[in-house]
Amino acid sequence: MSGAGTKGKVEHTPGPWHTDDYAMFIFGPNNETIAQTRGEGADLPIDANARLLAAAPEMLEALEALPLGSFGDDMGKHDAAEFVDNAGYFFDAMLKAKVAIQKARGQR
């Protein structure tokens, strides 16, 4: 019961995405505009919202790295040993998740 995640066909603009110096626009790998963060009111965290959006492709990649397909629809039917057998895939997904979280928080 091993195998990588459930990566499917990419239907969004592929990453990596990044923000501009003002964290208002999100750009794709070829500097094409993906999105713009806007809002009314001084208390909106526009820069944090832009970073979160820019991290979306990495977040999806981390989730797709989980070996979810190996466990079927009911993960509760499997014992811990089966999860241990897939530890390498979980570790890879965790590393990707850490990078995505750091990017979303502006730490990368």
Interval 4-62: pLDDT, tens: 555 567 788 999 999 988 778 999 999 999 999 887 766 778 888 888 999 999 999 88
Q: What pLDDT is recorded for position 72?
A: 67
Burial class for 12, CB neighbours closer than 10 Å (0-12, 13-18, 19+): exposed
Domain boundaries, the chain: 18-104
Q: What pLDDT is recorded for position 2?
A: 44
Cα separation, 28 vs 8, whole angstroms: 20
Whether pLDDT at 64 is above 50: yes
Residue 50 and residue 19 in contact, taking contact as beta carbons nearer than 8 Å: yes
Q: What pLDDT is recorded for position 79?
A: 72
Interval 71-102: pLDDT, tens: 667 766 777 777 777 788 788 888 888 988 88
| Backbone CA torsion sign across 89, 90, 95, 98 | positive
Cα separation, 46 vs 106, whole angstroms: 13
Question: SS3 for 63?
Answer: helix
pTM across the whole model: 0.70
Residue 104 and residue 60 in contact, taking contact as beta carbons nearer than 8 Å: no
